[in-house]
Amino acid sequence: MTDDPFVTHRGLLFTVAYEMLGSAADAEDVVQETWLRWADVSQEEVRDLRSYLVRIVTRLALNRLRTVSRRREEYVGEWLPEPLLTQS
């Protein structure tokens, strides 16, 4: 186990983003953006690291949804989430 809160909670962050976006590629992009924002923050000022990271990933996912919904307005088919690949 590592002391870096981002690494510790990365799985949770990906899950939150994936559940919101339905796309593994978009979820990974949001997690990467979250890391970039996390790298710019003074971590000593953050009281609850897990909540802070989830908040960042949630806001970024919502922003991505707004952007995607604008692009998807012309799509008339049924939208289904992308299947998540798992190791067997």
Residues 6+ apart with CB under 8 A from 41: 52
For 52-82, the pLDDT digits (tens) are 999 999 999 999 998 876 655 565 677 777 7
The residue that leads in pLDDT, 4 or 61, is 61
**What pLDDT does 37 receive?**
92
Q: What is the pTM of this model?
A: 0.74
* Average pLDDT value for the chain: 86
Rounded CA separation 51/30 (Å)? 16
Residue 11 lies in a domain: yes
How many domains does the chain divide into?
Answer: 1
Domain enclosing residue 65, as ranges: 5-70
Residue 76 lies in a domain: no
